[in-house]
Structure 1
């Protein structure tokens, strides 16, 4: 049996939303009209957004960019992700989540799928935003270097 990372998504209008911003699942299951599950193969990179509100407004805004791990690899547990994954970026609070979403948009504007971007870029975005600094933009040159490095180690 192949090892996959399972992510449970949920949509309760105006209360709780858990969704994938990017990533390529290998399988999907509809659990009911509000819930579904996605499975990601080892090494797949995806962004998982969690948002919740209460009577007073937004209670939780979080984004995790994770790499799905293979069996036996170290991992970090994340609510809604089984068994967990390698954390490339983990931020909370709407202002930081929004800046991550803009960083994802910037990668897409280059014509690059964010799931294919260098994992170090997401670590860089995490570090810079954690320090309330501006991350460097992803560039075609950085992506080409990552692609060549990945080909050499494959």
Structure 2
């Protein structure tokens, strides 16, 4: 499966993506926004290549290089899904994340006949909130103490 945009494509992950995916996940700017981070290449391979039936994970591919992911998960056909994403530092600030979110959202809405696609963003992650806003998402509120990570409760915006 491939979804094409002007400067990137969204495609399903392949084994050759695992090493760069793992390396990018070690970026503190990425890791601090996720509940878990793979601790080894083996963990990364399992997380990247094994999907459940209520999820579609796409690699953001620029010129053959995996520079991020878009994850459509918690899919309830005919109702809703949740979107998550990240991009490597070298791909930030170019509109790639926004365009990838738009493309993946349109795909999910159409394929699964969804009424909504929602996204959660840590309240400290203003650039990610801006991605969703530029992609047409509307801030619905703040979920206080929504996640517990390393003994600290984190607040999330919900779009």
- When normalised by structure 1's length, the TM-score is 0.29
- When normalised by structure 2's length, the TM-score is 0.28
Greater Rg by CA: 1
Task: Judging by fraction of residues, say which structure has more strand.
Answer: 1
